[in-house]
């Protein structure tokens, strides 16, 4: 099981949630602490908490991850993968290489050891 911190880089990489990746099932899951201020969460996570859901199922967790990555069908995806030393498209590895950075917000995804 891989474990990542979802952190706000504007707040000195303060963790707001945990992203888990089950390598056997190839599934992501996001866990949000119940005490987390929902105003400090990325938009999709905020929507989950506003419904009282603090564990996002694999479907919505993958949606959140994919919104942070270069799409697999992007033109020149092979060149992109090669630049990161990857042979094929794997969300978990791309997430690690790019830290899940997005121009839409200030959150990053940092792998824990």
pTM of the model: 0.93
* DSSP conformation letters of 2-36: EEEEEEEGGGTTEEEEEEEEETTTTEEEEE--TTS
- The predicted-structure confidence for 5-42, as pLDDT tens digits, reads as follows 999 999 988 999 999 999 999 999 999 999 999 999 99
Structure tokens at 5: 């911190």
3 state DSSP class of 55 = strand
**How far, in Å, CA of 111 to CA of 97, rounded?**
10
Radius of gyration of the chain (CA): 14
If residue 109 lies in a helix (H) or strand (E), which one and from where to where?
strand 107-111
- The predicted-structure confidence for 94-108, as pLDDT tens digits, reads as follows 999 999 999 999 999
**What pLDDT was estimated at residue 14?**
93
């Amino acid at each position: 099981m891989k474990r990542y911190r979802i952190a706000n880089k504007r707040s000195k990489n303060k963790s707001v949630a945990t992203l888990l990746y089950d390598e056997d099932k190839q599934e992501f899951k996001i866990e949000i602490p119940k005490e987390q201020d929902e105003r400090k969460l990325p938009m999709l996570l905020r929507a989950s908490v506003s419904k009282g859901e603090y564990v996002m199922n694999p479907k919505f967790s993958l949606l959140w991850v994919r919104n942070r990555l270069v799409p697999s069908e992007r033109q020149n995806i092979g060149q992109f993968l090669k630049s990161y030393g990857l042979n094929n498209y794997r969300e978990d590895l791309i997430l690690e290489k790019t830290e899940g950075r997005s121009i839409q917000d200030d959150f990053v995804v940092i792998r824990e050891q």
